[in-house]
């Protein structure tokens, strides 16, 4: 079994309720709608940078960063210091009073975006941010129709669920009025493959078709993740967003980049995922990694578009909370000062190279996708690309038993998602590759 890289941190002995007791309490008092990873769910009670610990003190490499949320490491000391100071002075106030944290954080956040994208509206979750972005787009354009992508995930509120396009995440209730879903530009399973240099432009024609033959011809917005996360790490091919944005703007619509997973340097090549696609959106939504794991999200747009929200009062009680903003600001400072983007690029390249070497060993690895530390591994059962859902579940379990936590995604649940905190080291990458190798060997023989 591969050895976890050395770590000096020793968690305090856990003295809380047993795992069985917590399971019982959950089943008695929490909604049955909650799902857990793993056949025997993990109980995580401690975290230190890229590692987490269960109640027995067993250590795991967190290759999924919570769910792509812990951007720079669990309980990062500089972030802890910032929130502890804020917690001891003032935990709550809202935007009806002035507070320096929200103002300083907004300024710093705007400095990471292209000129013009400089007005921030803080919310508590990615779903709320996406709801708000659609509201702004409709208020600004006075149009109604919205185009999102099939296989996309934008959240679970009623509005965001309408944008989301996986049947597994949608309920049969009225939602998503006016939302149309364009074909996902998936070069592995779609009509235009990796061998087609014009795949991006060809896929984008579906956006034009929806505008012309599926809407009033005038639309409010187009929303897409630069790399679909929950959908299984599907990267927008070059040329796709460029053309899609052009068609959308010709139809009066605004372009929204959902950077909830791709933002803050994770893709390595750029700070924002859209920058890898040679486009500049009108609205950017962000969450997860923005606060290294705290309930914080934001919508950033232009002054002109932001003005549309002054037509009526729009208020969010916890959006811009002083503690969340202290955490967001400290997180952003760590990301920038410690060059987390550079680390994501360097180690992401090593990870991708290592995975490619594994692909030549295991025919079950159908496709390897992603950039930086946002990587997916699609497992297949045969040459017809039949999704290897069971194999994926088994590899996923075996990795956990060996001390590696990763994510799982894609509509068929056959994509392993590797998205660790950006503070990981080369030794961690070696460990991830060794574990995947051992787990694939165990599960495919």
Residues at the site binding ligand PLP, with contacts judged by CB under 6 A = 125-127, 130, 153-155, 225, 229-230, 258, 260-261, 287
What is the rounded (10 degree) CA torsion for 269, 275, 276, 279? Answer: -170
Of 53 and 396, the one with the shorter C-beta distance to ligand PLP is 396
Helices 100-110 & 322-337 angle (0-180, nearest 10): 30
Identify each DSSP E strand in 127-218 by its residue range: 145-149, 179-182
Residue 393 C-beta: closest distance to ligand PLP, Å: 20
Are the C-beta atoms of residues 333 and 78 closer than 8 Å to each other? yes
Of 53 and 274, the one with the shorter C-beta distance to ligand PLP is 274
Under 8 Å CB-to-CB from 207, ≥6 apart: which residues?
A: 147, 182, 222, 243, 244, 247, 248
Residue 158 C-beta: closest distance to ligand PLP, Å: 12
Residue 413 C-beta: closest distance to ligand PLP, Å: 15
Residue 67 C-beta: closest distance to ligand PLP, Å: 6
Which position's Cβ is nearest ligand PLP? 126
Identify each DSSP E strand in 124-250 by its residue range: 145-149, 179-182, 219-224, 227-228, 234-235
Of 155 and 322, the one with the shorter C-beta distance to ligand PLP is 155
Of 59 and 288, the one with the shorter C-beta distance to ligand PLP is 288
Residue 230 C-beta: closest distance to ligand PLP, Å: 5
Are the C-beta atoms of residues 61 and 404 closer than 8 Å to each other? yes
Of 234 and 365, the one with the shorter C-beta distance to ligand PLP is 234
Residue 376 C-beta: closest distance to ligand PLP, Å: 13
Of 229 and 366, the one with the shorter C-beta distance to ligand PLP is 229
Residue 126 C-beta: closest distance to ligand PLP, Å: 2
Phi (first) and psi of residue 338, to 5 degrees? -95, 10
Residue 51 C-beta: closest distance to ligand PLP, Å: 22
Query: What is the distance between the alpha carbons of residues 146 and 178, in angstroms, rounded to a whole number?
Result: 6
CA 193 from centre of chain:
24
Query: What is the distance between the alpha carbons of residues 308 and 354, in angstroms, rounded to a whole number?
Result: 48
Helices 322-337 & 77-89 angle (0-180, nearest 10): 160
Of 149 and 204, the one with the shorter C-beta distance to ligand PLP is 149
Q: By three-state DSSP, how is residue 69 classified?
A: coil
Of 14 and 318, the one with the shorter C-beta distance to ligand PLP is 318
Query: What is the distance between the alpha carbons of residues 251 and 365, in angstroms, rounded to a whole number?
Result: 41
């Amino acid at each position: 079994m591969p050895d976890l890289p050395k770590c000096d941190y020793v968690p305090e002995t856990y003295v809380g309720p047993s795992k069985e007791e917590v399971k019982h309490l959950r089943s008695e008092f929490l909604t049955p709608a909650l799902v857990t990873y793993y056949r025997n769910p993990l109980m995580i009670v401690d975290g230190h940078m890229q590692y987490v610990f269960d109640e027995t003190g067993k250590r795991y490499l967190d290759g999924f960063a919570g769910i792509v949320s812990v951007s720079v490491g669990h309980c990062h000391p500089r972030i802890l210091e910032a929130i502890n100071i804020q917690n001891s002075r003032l935990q709550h106030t809202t935007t009806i009073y002035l507070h320096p944290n929200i103002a300083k954080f907004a300024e710093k956040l705007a400095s990471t975006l292209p000129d013009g994208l400089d007005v921030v509206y803080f919310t508590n979750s990615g779903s709320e941010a996406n709801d708000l972005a659609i509201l702004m787009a409709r208020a600004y354009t006075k149009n109604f129709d919205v185009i999102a992508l099939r296989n996309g995930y934008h959240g679970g509120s009623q509005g965001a669920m309408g944008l989301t396009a996986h049947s597994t995440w949608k309920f049969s209730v009225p939602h998503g009025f006016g939302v149309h879903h364009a074909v996902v530009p998936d070069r592995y399973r779609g009509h235009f493959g990796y061998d087609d240099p014009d795949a991006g432009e060809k896929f984008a024609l579906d956006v034009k078709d929806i505008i012309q033959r599926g809407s009033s011809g005038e639309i409010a917005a187009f929303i897409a993740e630069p790399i679909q996360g929950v959908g299984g790490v599907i990267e927008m091919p070059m040329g796709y967003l460029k053309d899609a944005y052009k068609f959308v703007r010709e139809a009066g619509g605004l372009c929204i980049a959902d950077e909830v997973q791709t933002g803050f340097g994770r893709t390595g090549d750029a700070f924002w995922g859209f920058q890898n696609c040679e486009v500049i959106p009108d609205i950017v939504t962000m969450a997860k990694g923005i606060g290294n794991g705290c309930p914080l999200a934001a919508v950033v747009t232009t002054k002109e578009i932001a003005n549309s929200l002054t037509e009526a009062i729009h208020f969010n009680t916890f959006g811009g909370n002083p503690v969340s903003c202290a955490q967001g600001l400290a997180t952003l400072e760590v990301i920038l000062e410690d060059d987390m983007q550079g680390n994501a690029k360097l180690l992401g390249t090593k990870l991708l190279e290592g995975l490619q070497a594994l692909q030549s060993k295991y025919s079950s690895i159908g496709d390897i996708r992603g950039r930086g530390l946002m990587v997916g591994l699609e497992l297949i059962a045969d040459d017809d690309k039949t999704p290897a859902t069971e194999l994926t579940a088994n590899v996923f379990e075996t990795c956990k038993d060996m001390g590696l936590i990763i994510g799982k995604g894609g509509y068929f649940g056959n994509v392993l998602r590797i998205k660790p905190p950006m503070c990981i080291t080369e030794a961690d990458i070696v460990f991830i590759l060794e574990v995947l190798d051992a787990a694939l060997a165990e599960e495919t023989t």
